[in-house]
Every structure is written in C-alpha cells, then in structure tokens.
Amino acid sequence: MSELAGYKGSSLVLLKKSGVSIGDQIEITTPKMKYNGILMPRYEYADDLHIVIKLPNGYNVGVDVGSVHSIKRVSEGIKPHFAPPLTPPINPKLPRVSIVSTGGTIASRVDYRSGAVHPALSASELYSVVPELSHYALIDAEVLFSIYSENMKAEYWSAIASKVAEKVRDGYQGIVITHGTDTMGYTSAALSFALANVPVPVVLVGSQRSSDRPSSDAASNLIGAVIVACKAPFSGVYVVMHSDMSDDSLAVHLGTKVRKNHTSRRDAFESVNTAPVAYIKGKEIEKIKPNLPPRREDKEFVLKPNFDTRVALLKFYPSFDPEIIGYLVDKGYRGIVLEGTGLGHVGSYCYGRLKEATDRGLIVAMTSQCIWGRVRMTVYDTGRDLLNIGIIPLDDMPSETALVKMMWALGNADGIEEAKELMIRNLVGETNYRSDIERRPI
Amino acid sequence: MIDYRKMGLKVGLEIHQQLSTKHKLFCQCERFQSDEFDTHFDRRLRPTQSELGVIDPAAMFEFKKGKIIKYHANRESSCLVEADEEPPHDLNMEAAESALIVAMALKASIVDELHTMRKIVIDGSNTTGFQRTIIVALGGFLKTKDRETPVQTICLEEDAARLAADHENYREYCLDRLCVPLVEIALSPVEGPPEEIQDIALSLGRLLRATRRVARGLGTIRQDINVSIRGGRVVEVKGIQKLDLISKVVEFEATRQSGLMEIKSELEKRGAKAEGVGLPLDVTKVFEETECELVKKAIERGGIVVAVRLKNFSGLLGYEPYPDIRLGREMAEIVRFYGLGGIFHSDELPGYGITIKEMKSVKRSLEMSDVDAFVLLAGPKDSIFDAAMAIVERARDAIQGVPYETRGPTPDGKTRFIRPRPGPARMYPETDIPPIPITEELLSRLKKEVPKPWEAQIEEYSSRYGLSRKLALQVFDSEYSELFEEMALKTKVQPSLIAATLTETLVGLSRAGLRIDRLDGKDLGELFISLDKGRISKEAIPQILEVILREGVELEDAIKKTGIVTISEEELFQIVERIVKENRNLIKEKGGRAFSILMGRIMKIVRGSVDGAKVGLVLKKRIENEMKE
Ligand SMILES: [Zn+2]
C-alpha cells in the first residue's frame, strides 16, 4: 500500500502538505469538530474532497477537505503485525492434497485496525483459518497466480494444467484449485480437455461471498473440495460449490457441464443438461453417479495444454450484423461457436458470411442460447440450410464449453479435419446423447 | 435506602429506535412482520481471524459448539439481500434523512461523509456475520427538565434478525426484522437516581416520536444501558424493551454491584490474590461412587468432574450482601452459557448428595486450607474446561470487584449474565457500499423538517384538542398519535373520545389478554368515521374492538356481529313509549325519581345501539309528559 493510497486531487495535496501517511494517528480540526483517529486509505473511486479517519470506536467517517483547519500527526502508525497462526496437529498418514490458488481469496484474515483484508495462502494459514482441513488431508499450498477471475486467459489455463500434471506426478492424491467464480466454468472445461484421463480428482472451488465475512461460503466449499480430492473414488475435473442456500449441501459438478447461472447466490453453479456427479453432505460424498472414470494408481495420462485463442463465441440476436463474421474471417480466426436461437438457428441473412467462413476453412459450430436443451438442426429449413453450409451441431454442449473445446481442438489437433472430428466426439462428458426427462435432474 | 450519589452510580443510555421508512436499509423489502415463513436455510458462521490470529473467546466457544443456524424467511419481507445471497443495494436515503433529522434535533455535529462499517456479530442474528452501521453525527445534547445530557454518537444501522428459538444444537432466527433501519443514540454516562435515568430515556423517546419518522409499538425501541459504580467496571445490560423497566434494572444493577464491591473489600482484607485462584483440576476419581445424582449422571455419560480452588474465598460464595446477590449464583449463571446446569461450591456443601468425605478428598487434592473455597463442575469433557476457565476468570474478577460483562434484563427488572466480555468491537469497512457525502443542500432542506420540541406538541394537543395533559401525553406516546390527529381533523368526534379510545380502551383490551398489535390503523380510522356518521354509538366501541380481536374479523363484520346497528329515532321513541306505558304505576308513585329505573331498563335493550345521553333526553321528556297527564 502506498503512503496515501486512493487519495488524489485536493485531498492528496492537503495530506502531503500536512506530512501524514496512512495508518498514522492524526488529529483533524474543523470549525465543528476535532477528530482523533487513524488516517485510512481512500476508496479508489470516491471523490477527492474527503479524508477518511477511523475513530477510536472503530467507525470510519469522511471529513470535508474544505472545512479542515489543521491536520496534526499525533503518532506514527503501527504496521500491521501478523502473528504466526497456530497450526493444529496433523496426522502424517492422511492423504496428500495440493491446493493451487489462482486468485479469488478462499480464505483471509482481517486487520481490524486498518480494515485491510489479507489473503491466507500458505498451508499453515489455511489450516488455521479452516481448521477442519486437518481432519482430512495433509495440505500443501501453492500460489500460482493471483488474478481476478475476469482476467483469466487461455494461457493461464495451460499453466494451471501443467501445474496439475506436475502435482499428479508428485503423487498427490488429489488437487484443489481455488478460482474466482466468474470464469471458473471456463477453466474447468479447459482443464477437463487438457487433463483428459487424469488419474486423480482435480477440483475447482471458489466462493460467492467473500472470505472476509463470517458467513462466507469459502470455508465450506474448500472443505468439500478437499474431501473430494482425497476421498472420491473417481478421477477427472470437477467443480465443488453449494447446491442450495444452506451451508451443508454441496454439489460436485462435471467440469464440462457446469455453468454459473446466478450473479450472487451461493448455489450459482449448476450442472446443465445433466445431474451433478455427486453431492457432499457433512463429511460424506453421496449419490455418486455410476460410470465415472475411477481413481487410478498409475500416473499415466497425456497432458495437452495448448489452446488456440483464434476462436470466437458469437451470440446471435435479431439484427445481428453478419459483418462481424466477415471481420473474424478477415482477422484470421480459425473457429466460431455460434450461440443460436432455439434449436440452433441464425437469420438467413447470415448465410453468405457463414458460407464464406466455412469455405475459408474455419470450423463453425452451433450451440443454443437457451442454455437448457439440445441443438436439433434437422427440424426446420433454417437448420438444414445451416447444416448444408457446414455448421457443426454440438448437441447439448454448453456454449462456453464448446468455445473452450474448439480452442483446445485447434490447439492440439493435426489440421482442421482432426479438430472437427474432435469437436463432434464426446471426450470427457461434454456431450450427452440422451436427455434426462427432468429439467434439473438430481 | 441506597444513596446512589455516594456509590457513584453512573448510567449511559443507548437507544435503538426503528425508523418507519418505506423499505429496509439496504434493499427494497418492506417492514412487515408475519408468522408465516416459506423459505428455510441453514448456515454456520465462522469467526474471522484478526491480524493477531486472535478470536473473541465467546465467539470461539460458540463456533466450537458447532451450532447450526436455521433461518426462516417470508418472501414478502425478505429478499436475497437478507439471505446474504446478494450484495446490499444502495443506502436507503429516506432512513439516512431520518437519522440526520434526529441528529439536528439533538444539535449534534453531522459528519461530512457517511461510511458504512461491518461490525462483527457471529451469534447468527445477522446472516452476514456482521451488522452494517454508519456514524451519522457526533456530540450534541438532550435537554430534559433540569439537565442536559451529552450525546456521544448517533448511528444509522440495520436491525438484527428475530431470535425464534435456541436449542442445544441449533438456533432459529426469523428474517423479517433483519435490515430494518434503526437509529442508535448513545448518551454519555450520567450520574443520578434511577428514576431520573428513566426520565431521560422517556424524553429521548419522545424527541424521536416527535419527528414522526420512527416506528411505534412494542419491539420498535430498545434500550441498552451501561451501569457502573465507583471502583467497579462498566456492565452492559442489553435489550430493555419496556421503558418502565429501566429504573428497576438500574436499581438492581446498582445493588448487585454494591454487593460485589462488598465482597471485594472482604477479599482484600483477607489478602486474596488472582494467583490464589487455581487452574481447574480433574477430580472425577473422588466421585466414582458418589450418591450425588447430578454428578453420577454426568460421569455415566462419559463426562468428568472438575474442581477449582479459590484461596481465601471461604464463606464468600454463599454470602448474600443483598437479597439474591451471591457470588455462587453469578458463577452458576456463567456456566449455563457453556451448556452446564450449574455449579456446586464449598459454602453449600455437604449437600445435594455430596458427602463430607468427598469434600475432604477434593480439599486434599486442591491442597486447601480452611479459609479457602472450591467450586465443582460436572459435565462433558469438551466444554467443561472452557466453563471452568470462565469460573477462574470470574473468581479473579471478584477480587477486582465488578467484572465487565454483558447482561440481559429479566421481566421483573433484574439482570442475568448473557455473555462473557466481548473483545473490542471488530469493525472494518463495508466495501459493497461507497461513501456518501452529506451536502449542504441536503442539510438545509432537512433543517426545515426538524420537528418542534415534543413539549410544544403536547401543549398543542391540550390547547387545540382540549385534551388533559395526561391524555395528551398518553396519545403522543402511543402508536396512534398520527391517527389521532387525522381523526380529530377529519371527523366531528370529540378528540378526547378518540384519544381515550386509542389509549385507555386499547390498554384495557390488551390487559384482558388481547393482541392489540393485530389492529391496523385503517380499521381504527374507519371505526371513528362510522361513529361520526352515526352508524355506531360510542358505547359500542369497546365491544366492536373486542370482537375484531377475539374473532379476527374485519370491522364491518364486527359491527354486524355485535348486532350493533344504530336504531332510528322512531324506534327509540317506540321503545321508550312501551316502557313508559308498562310502568305507569311506577311513575305515578315515584314521579321524576322513576327516571333512573326506567333508564336502566331501556338501556338494557338499546345499549350499544344508541347514545345513552340521547336516551336520557327522550325518556326525560316522555316522563314529564306522562306526569303532566
Ligand atoms: Zn430485502
């Protein structure tokens, strides 16, 4: 934190002139009041007209710069001191689980004096913040990135996949990846393809309510993820999050079939067009779906961590401008995933540009913006026309998974035909050929 | 008689008043209380670690107990925000304005920018694990008859969820009250007798009501008081809902604290030291063949028995400086917090099945002498040491005098232990709500809304509506002052009748065990309008209200049910005529004095349907005619 973080303009000038820094004990005199307290950082997007001070009762107030007579430094600030947390005793015979963090703090500690939130990242910090972890596993924690979910990129997927492969070869019984929730579904799909046939469970986990609050879902989700990582009889890439508003009900979703379907709820993540592969109630994994790839002792699997980002996901809408497709073709894109209407349609005024795209060797595939249901392009003329142009229907695959899969297919296949063939083939459960009779099967 | 001045009694008041805003503080839900809940979910709150890795011991204990919190929500009164499933919306500015107006009425200094803070509370009363709170103003004063009480802070905050039940393994809360805006006013501690403190609270309540921006009715205002006496520490008594309990609670606390100070000086004389209070020792062995039922049961369930030695405490655990005030009793209250039924201490032993032999054994284990005392606890292994450590703490505090703790009021105005000392308030910024500058424009607009002092409003009730001062105060303090004014203006019904109905009549019904909170303002308004139109008589009012409350029907149905439909003048004449004719002999005999007998007979027939005064007039005239004949 810089000495006067967040301050700008007139408030910054005044503070500089007064020679005070954030954390200092100061006294501000105005015609109405004399404030004693600690100088606090300024909220970045707030105006430059106020100085924030923390009063002895713990409250913050903003003081109008214009009304300030004087600012005096009473004493220098005390730097926050973090005592080493106590680690509970751990049974060395427990399974080894690696926790790789990529961003989005799953555990944190609060400095109540300055109001700052500090992420808890090391294994010992995780144990001390979430002591239950010590019942299940010997944790090893590693910070790979520290980025916001929305800043995630395909190159990071590659790095995460390589890191997981390394951990598998090191003999961990399971790997947990903490991730910001916004793009966790994309990452889970990417890892599903890059780590196909991985012998142990790879579990992505996040939190919908920040970990600095007592009500955060972070700890229960993390415990659930660790339980799956060390106890699940199956292997593969999964997402563990709340299955409803209650803290003791978690669901395990298949990495290629999971979608964030709510902006804020704890149960935002849902399995789309399929049931979760399992649930976690208390300490137990329940209702495990049959036919999941089993956990294996051998460490044999092929890592394919390449992604070609020259792929776009286009949502069709009334008055969609087909020139967008033309632009992508001209820019050298190699693939387009369409999120069409209904059973998989786009306006006939797009045919020309789409034909051009397939003629120029782009893979163009169709998913539906309905989210639920299957693409069926043989029902209406429009669909049949599109099939004739060479658009590949992707059945019930979520459009985000389709995008990631196409990047991966183009990144790892030998030529366009092999990539097309990969797109159609079900590799890691991304496509179901049978639709459950229930809308949201459990 | 206790001399409060001599003991240095100081009381700080903290008033929490719900605001009557259209919606809640950080969402669009309306304030609305219901017993029907359609959504249920379970949560666990975990204490967040502070920079020092320190967790509030009370909070930690709660967490270790692993209590699940069950929330019940009504979809009309709570949304995803209360469920902590959606970030808070923008601050409700109507509530902020109300708090600012209160601040102006108290001549406090308003801050230049509002910052929302999170105050950690992990008992489950807030789904988030914290209460959102904002300092609105500092300083100012409350003027009462003969003093000015300084104001410390004025805050705007969200109300907590309603505790529905507390079980061994889980606790239930209803979300309807959660997030309702509250203004919290903390007054500086002042000296004075308990009645004067209560009077300050009353005045502050009236100042708030005078703004017409606060909610009325039971549970909409709560008082916390901080009580201390010279040499002791501050005791916080939380959640006093009834005003007339304040003086009793202050009195009890003053007495209790004096008692504790007496025990302290005795301990001092004996040279008791904190180190003399030993650490808990496992003495289960001593009780392997005990006859004491409680201890036996605890051991059978896999529990243990723990003893704590209190050096120089002999006789002081059972000593009762004032009725019901004993150190032993205080300790028993504390262990209840840890889920134990109570304690045994050496001053009350042998007894309860514990023998002299067992006592001697314990004394030997603890290396005790005759001036020492001991406390015994029996219970489950995992919580007994926490409880025993709390006893150690409490005994050490006794050497200091009055411990700093949080207590709650009992219905009869005493207090009981509810929580160990909370650590310093843990607050950090609510980053979901940006700071809100308070502009000069806003302040000058609100200045016009600062109400006249409540005394002036009472004066007006007397001068304008002819109410006695007592009735004026009653109606002003009631939930219905605004309805009163509206009806006094809108109808020709006598204001004093309206006021008396809204106060005395309702209080009477409430005393009869009826839930008058079920009456809504609209029904009451319609009642006076019906009276104004002559559809009902004023005598019928209590009966109609009673039917509404007892049978849960609408006003119209209640009017029909009570069969009270005003009879016409002609009908009245006919009834009077009939009665007079039937009693001609009586009139002849008694003359004018027959009036009261006949009046009684007629009223028996028409009560509730027609105004008694009117019956009187008609009957009087008819009797006069009869006598002339
Ligand atoms: Zn709401």
Taking the centre of ligand 1 as the mean of its atom positions, its distance from the CA of residue A400, in whole angstroms, is 32
* Residues A128 and A266 reside in one and the same domain: yes
What 3 state SS string does B432-452 have?
CCCCEECCHHHHHHHHCCCCC
The reply to whether A171 falls in a domain is: yes
CA distances from B20 to B29, B219, B421, B479 (A): 13, 13, 33, 12
Taking contacts as CB-CB distances below 8 angstroms, the residues of chain A near B134 are 59
pLDDT score at A116: 67
Taking the centre of ligand 1 as the mean of its atom positions, its distance from the CA of residue B419, in whole angstroms, is 30
Each residue's pLDDT tens digit, A326-363: 999 999 999 999 999 999 999 999 999 999 999 999 99
CB within 8 Å: B41 and A246: yes
pLDDT score at B51: 45
**In a mutagenesis test of the A interface, which of B55, B84, B122 is the best target, namely the one with the most A β-carbons within 10 Å?**
B84
Q: What is the DSSP letter of B274?
A: G
Active site residue A153: no
Active site residue A182: yes
B150 and B185 in contact (C-beta within 8 Å)?
A: no
**In a mutagenesis test of the A interface, which of B39, B153, B427 is the best target, namely the one with the most A β-carbons within 10 Å?**
B427
Residues 6+ apart with CB under 8 A from B113: A50, A52, A61, A62, A63, A64, B435, B436, B437, B438
> Given the DSSP bridges, would you call strands A269-271 and A258-260 parallel, antiparallel or unpaired?
antiparallel
Q: Range with the lowest mean pLDDT among B303-307, B545-549, B590-594?
A: B590-594
Taking the centre of ligand 1 as the mean of its atom positions, its distance from the CA of residue B178, in whole angstroms, is 9
- Phi/psi at B224 (nearest 5 deg)? -110, 145
Angle between helices B246-270 and B194-210 (to 10 degrees): 140
Residue A392 has pLDDT above 80, yes or no: yes
Residue A121 has pLDDT above 80, yes or no: no
pLDDT score at A383: 85
Q: What is the DSSP letter of B501?
A: I
Taking contacts as CB-CB distances below 8 angstroms, the residues of chain A near B86 are 263-265
Of B3, B474, B373, which Cα lies nearest the Cα of B193? B3
Residues 6+ apart with CB under 8 A from B532: B491, B492, B493
Instruction: Using CB atoms, pick whichever of B45, B111, B114 lies closest to residue A215.
Output: B45
pLDDT score at B256: 95
The reply to whether A127 falls in a domain is: yes
- Phi/psi at B555 (nearest 5 deg)? -55, -50
Range of the domain at A211: 96-286
pLDDT score at B53: 46
Q: Range with the lowest mean pLDDT among A393-402, A425-434, B409-418, B514-523?
A: B514-523
Q: Reply yes or no: is the peptide bond before residue B350 cis, omega within 30 of 0.
A: yes
Q: Give the largest Cα separation in chain B, rounded.
A: 107
Each residue's pLDDT tens digit, B286-326: 999 999 999 999 999 999 999 999 999 999 999 999 988 99
Distance from CA of B66 to the nearest CA of A (A): 12
Instruction: Using CB atoms, pick whichever of B112, B130, B135 lies closest to residue A214.
Output: B130
Mean pLDDT of B409-418: 92
B599 and B616 in contact (C-beta within 8 Å)?
A: yes
Separation CA A196–CA B31 (nearest Å) = 53
* Residues A199 and A113 reside in one and the same domain: yes
> pLDDT confidence of A2, banded at 50, 70, 90?
low
The token duo for B53 is 């890795």
Taking contacts as CB-CB distances below 8 angstroms, the residues of chain B near A40 are 429
Q: What percent of chain A has pLDDT over 90?
A: 76
Distance from CA of B463 to the nearest CA of A (A): 39
Instruction: Using CB atoms, pick whichever of A50, A246, A264 lies closest to residue B113.
Output: A50
* pTM to 2 decimal places: 0.86
Each residue's pLDDT tens digit, A365-382: 999 999 999 999 988 888
- Neighbouring-strand partners of residue A205: A178, A240
Using DSSP, state whether B57 is helix, strand or coil: helix
The identity of residue B155, as a single letter, is C
Alpha-carbon dihedral A230, A233, A234, A237, rounded to 10 degrees? -20
Which residue has 């694990």 as its token pair?
A: B129
User: Quick one: B19 exposed, middle or buried, by C-beta within 10 A (0-12, 13-18, 19+)?
Assistant: buried
Taking the centre of ligand 1 as the mean of its atom positions, its distance from the CA of residue A117, in whole angstroms, is 27
* Residues A395 and A340 reside in one and the same domain: yes
Residues 6+ apart with CB under 8 A from A284: none
Of B235, B244, B239, which Cα lies nearest the Cα of B408? B239
> pLDDT confidence of B423, banded at 50, 70, 90?
low
Of B23, B2, B6, which Cα lies nearest the Cα of B98? B23
Active site residue A287: no
* Range 430-469 of B in CB contact (< 8 A) with A: 431, 434-435, 437
pLDDT score at B425: 63
The reply to whether A386 falls in a domain is: yes
- DSSP string over A163-205: HHHHHHHTT-SEEEEE--STTHHHHHHHHHHHTTT-SSEEEEE
Q: What percent of chain A has pLDDT over 70?
A: 95
Q: What is the DSSP letter of B243?
A: G
Residue B62 has pLDDT above 70, yes or no: no
Each residue's pLDDT tens digit, B262-280: 999 999 999 999 999 988 9
pLDDT score at A146: 85
pLDDT score at A185: 97
The token duo for B18 is 């719900």
- Phi/psi at B546 (nearest 5 deg)? -65, -40
pLDDT score at A265: 97
* Residues A114 and A230 reside in one and the same domain: yes
Residues 6+ apart with CB under 8 A from B391: B280, B308, B331, B334, B335, B343, B375, B377
Selecting among A102, A181, A183, A382, the annotated active-site residue is A181
- Chain A touched by B42 (CB under 8 Å): yes
pLDDT score at B202: 92
Selecting among A102, A105, A178, A187, the annotated active-site residue is A105
Taking the centre of ligand 1 as the mean of its atom positions, its distance from the CA of residue B49, in whole angstroms, is 29
Active site residue A105: yes
Of A201, A199, A200, A219, which Cα lies nearest the Cα of A209? A219
Residue B55 has pLDDT above 60, yes or no: no
Separation CA B301–CA B169 (nearest Å) = 17
Separation CA B13–CA B151 (nearest Å) = 10
Q: What percent of chain B has pLDDT over 90?
A: 55
Residue B508 has pLDDT above 50, yes or no: yes
User: Quick one: B532 exposed, middle or buried, by C-beta within 10 A (0-12, 13-18, 19+)?
Assistant: middle
Residue A135 is part of a domain; what is its CATH number?
Answer: 3.40.50.1170
Task: Compute CA A56 distance to the chain's CA centroid, rounded to the nearest angstrom.
Answer: 39
Number of domains in chain A: 3
CB within 8 Å: B53 and A82: yes
* Residues A55 and A152 reside in one and the same domain: no
Taking contacts as CB-CB distances below 8 angstroms, the residues of chain A near B44 are 220, 247-248
* Residues A131 and A207 reside in one and the same domain: yes
Instruction: Using CB atoms, pick whichever of B128, B138, B437 lies closest to residue A50.
Output: B437
* Residues A133 and A230 reside in one and the same domain: yes
CATH superfamily membership of B271-402: GAD-like domain (3.30.1360.30)
**Number of other residues whose CB lies within 10 A of the CB of residue B554:** 11
* Residues A40 and A107 reside in one and the same domain: no
User: Quick one: A293 exposed, middle or buried, by C-beta within 10 A (0-12, 13-18, 19+)?
Assistant: middle
Separation CA A182–CA A148 (nearest Å) = 9
Residue B330 has pLDDT above 70, yes or no: yes
Distance from CA of B27 to the nearest CA of A (A): 15
Mean pLDDT of A269-298: 95
The reply to whether A100 falls in a domain is: yes
**In a mutagenesis test of the B interface, which of A29, A213, A248 is the best target, namely the one with the most B β-carbons within 10 Å?**
A213
* Residues A375 and A315 reside in one and the same domain: yes
Taking the centre of ligand 1 as the mean of its atom positions, its distance from the CA of residue A246, in whole angstroms, is 18
Separation CA B188–CA B108 (nearest Å) = 13
Taking contacts as CB-CB distances below 8 angstroms, the residues of chain A near B139 are 33
Q: What counts of helices (H) and strands (E) characterise chain B?
A: 22, 23
- Phi/psi at A424 (nearest 5 deg)? -80, -35
Q: Please state, rounded to an integer, the average pLDDT across all residues of chain B.
A: 89
Instruction: Using CB atoms, pick whichever of A52, A81, A264 lies closest to residue B86.
Output: A264
Each residue's pLDDT tens digit, A204-215: 999 999 888 889
Distance from CA of A31 to the nearest CA of B (A): 10
pLDDT score at A394: 97
Each residue's pLDDT tens digit, B3-52: 888 889 999 999 999 999 999 999 999 987 777 899 999 999 887 665 44
Taking contacts as CB-CB distances below 8 angstroms, the residues of chain B near A213 are 48, 118, 128-130
Question: For B93, how many CA atoms within 13 A lie in the half-sphere containing its CB?
Answer: 9
> Given the DSSP bridges, would you call strands A284-286 and A258-260 parallel, antiparallel or unpaired?
unpaired
Separation CA B27–CA B4 (nearest Å) = 46
Query: What ipTM was assigned to the predicted interfaces of this complex?
Result: 0.92
Residues 6+ apart with CB under 8 A from B567: B575, B606, B609, B610
Alpha-carbon dihedral B573, B579, B584, B590, rounded to 10 degrees? -100
The reply to whether A410 falls in a domain is: yes
Using DSSP, state whether A106 is helix, strand or coil: coil
Q: What percent of chain B has pLDDT over 70?
A: 95
Domain ranges of chain B: 4-269, 271-402, 454-561, 569-628
CA distances from B248 to A294, B193, B221 (A): 70, 11, 18
pLDDT score at B627: 80
Residue B436 has pLDDT above 90, yes or no: yes
* Residues A45 and A116 reside in one and the same domain: no
Using DSSP, state whether B578 is helix, strand or coil: helix
